[in-house]
Each structure stands twice: as C-alpha cells, then as structure tokens.
C-alpha cells in the first residue's frame, strides 16, 4: 500500500517539475505568424517552431500562406484564435464566400467530438465545458437533405435548389438546427452536416445559410485550459458572463438555465497566460 503511495508522490513531483520547466520555456517563444493569423502561441505552435514551443498536438500547418488546423480526419483553415475565451474559429477550406455551390468537404457535427475512443477528440471541444459538449458555445448544425418529394409544409426546410443539387431527381434542402423527430420527413436522406457559429443569422434563405457556413465555426480547447486550475470535485468550464474559467458542482448540467441559479458555482480568478 505505502509503495503505491510513494510512487504516486514521485510521479506527482516529476509532473510538477515538468510543468514548471514548461512555463519557463513559454516565455522564450514569441508568437508565430502565418498569413492573417499573427498570434500563434501556447498552446498552439506553428510547424517549424522550436520544439519547446506550444504543444505538439496543437501544431498548426502553414499552407500557401494560410494557417491550417488538423481536426479529426480533416483539415480546416484558421480564421481567428481567441486566447481570452479559449476558442479557435475555423472554416472548411472548400467553402468559398459568394459561391453558394461550394460545400464543405467533410461532415462534422457535435457527435464527432463525443467519440470517446479517439484520443484526438480530447484536443478540442464543441462546447465550453471540459467534459461535455455543453451548448454554451454557438455551434449550430446545418443539415443537408435530399428528398424524394417536395417538402413545402415544413418551414425549416430551405430549398438549396439553384446552389446545391444532389441528383437530378431529388429535392435538395438545408435545415438549420438539430432535426427533431417530428421534423424528419419521410423519403429524405441526410447528405451532409456542417456547423456554423455565426450568431443571429437569418436562416430562411440558402444564401444566408451559406454565409453562415463560410463564416466557419468555433471549437474550444477548454479541456486543456482547465488543467491549469483545480476544481477538485467540481467540473470546470468557461463562463461567458465573467469571461473566466469557473468551477461548477453540477456535473449533469445540460441547459443554460441551470447556470442562472447559483448551483454550487464558484468563480476562479483570471488565469494568467
């Protein structure tokens, strides 16, 4: 019994030393820059940066003067990195502004982030809480459907006709938000799902939906950021109101309204960068 405890102590000490060393190194790394992204720094690093800079798993590429982020099986163009709220906004490289026929190369939805069997899913979250994809981050799904018949009666179904056609026979639609069972029309196939984080978008024309897709979507590294603070039995999340990491005792938290009550929530001071 004491043997395990001793080993644990040794490991903890080692871990602390590694972390301390890492903090020292961070100060030796000036921000890197590629194209319009000029603030690449810890936890990120740019390909070719000195080895001690940033985390290897948060390495960005630089292709044709564009910063590139590798996410799951795909790569995305980096639009902005926000160190204050631990988010990075990315966009699928196939999406072109003002070309409503351009579509994302890859399907991506909240569920891609909750596959616990893939190590890489731990790098980014589709939410602002460390261990669940809690919906405080604006991460809205756009679902592309191809239907055998025309769907006129459901206003959520926006025709993408002129812009996107899946085959000559079907009727092509895009729906924003999650498809509830009652919204699902018989004879419709899901062709593609892609996220957007553009707020207060008017989703009743396909041009507007496409604008949302081309704006891109935010993902967060709150899971990593949360390793810097200790919430003990509380769970850690980014509190948009105070713009700080915070601890909450309500592990099963699912909706924003739960947050309004105090619910054991306690604020942690500004985390130094």
Ligand X SMILES: *[C@@H]1O[C@H](CO)[C@@H](O)[C@H](O)[C@H]1NC(C)=O
Nearer to ligand X, 76 or 173 (CB): 76
Instruction: State which residue, 150 or 240, has the beta carbon closest to ligand X.
Output: 240
Output the six-digit token pair for 260. 């309004």
CA 174 to chain centre: 21
Residue 101 binds ligand X (CB under 6 A):
yes
CB of 36 to ligand X, least distance (A): 4
Choose the stretch contacting ligand X; rule: CB under 6 A; options: 24-32, 103-111, 222-230, 249-257: 103-111
Tokens of 2: 């004491």
Which element (helix H / strand E) includes 237? Answer: strand 235-239
Q: How far is the CB of 38 from ligand X (least distance, A)?
A: 8
Half-sphere exposure of 196 (CA within 13 A, CB side): 23
What's 249's DSSP letter?
A: S
Nearer to ligand X, 46 or 71 (CB): 71
Quickly list DSSP for 107-132: ---GGGG--TT-GGGGT-BSSSBSSS
Sequence-separated (6 or more) residues with CB below 8 Å from residue 7? none
Which residues within the stretch 143-182 sit at the binding site for ligand X (CB under 6 A)? none
- Which residues within the stretch 61-100 sit at the binding site for ligand X (CB under 6 A)? 65, 71-74, 82, 85, 87, 96, 99
Rank residues 151 and 174 by Cβ distance to ligand X and give the closer one: 174
Rounded Cα gap, residues 89 and 214, in angstroms: 11
Nearer to ligand X, 23 or 270 (CB): 270
Q: Does 240 contact ligand X by CB under 6 A? A: yes
Cis peptide before 179 (omega within 30 of 0): no
Could you list the residues that contact ligand X (CB under 6 A)? 35-36, 65, 71-74, 82, 85, 87, 96, 99, 101-102, 106-108, 112, 137, 218, 240
């Amino acid at each position: 019994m004491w043997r395990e405890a001793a080993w644990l102590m040794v490991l903890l000490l080692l871990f602390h030393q590694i972390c301390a060393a890492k903090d020292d190194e961070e100060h030796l790394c000036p921000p890197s820059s590629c194209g319009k992204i000029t603030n690449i720094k810890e936890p990120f690093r740019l390909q070719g940066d000195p080895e001690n800079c940033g985390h290897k798993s948060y390495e960005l590429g630089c292709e044709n003067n564009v910063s590139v982020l590798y996410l799951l099986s795909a790569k995305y163009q980096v639009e902005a990195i926000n160190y204050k709220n631990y988010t990075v906004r990315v966009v699928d490289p196939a999406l072109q502004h003002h070309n409503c026929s351009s579509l994302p190369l890859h399907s991506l939805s909240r569920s891609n982030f909750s596959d616990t069997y893939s190590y890489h899913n731990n790098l980014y979250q589709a939410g602002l809480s460390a261990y669940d994809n809690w919906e405080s981050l604006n991460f809205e799904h756009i679902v592309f459907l191809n239907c055998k018949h025309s769907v006129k009666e459901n206003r959520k179904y926006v025709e993408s006709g002129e812009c996107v056609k899946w085959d000559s026979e079907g009727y092509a639609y895009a729906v924003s938000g999650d498809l509830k069972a009652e919204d699902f029309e018989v004879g419709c196939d899901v062709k593609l799902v892609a996220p957007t984080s553009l707020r207060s978008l008017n989703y009743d024309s396909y041009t507007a939906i496409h604008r949302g897709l081309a704006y891109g979507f935010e993902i967060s590294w709150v899971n990593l950021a949360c390793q810097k603070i200790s919430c003990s039995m509380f769970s850690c999340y980014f509190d948009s109101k105070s713009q700080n990491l915070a601890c909450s005792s309500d592990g099963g938290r699912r909706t924003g309204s739960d947050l309004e009550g105090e619910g054991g929530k306690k604020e942690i001071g500004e985390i130094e960068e």
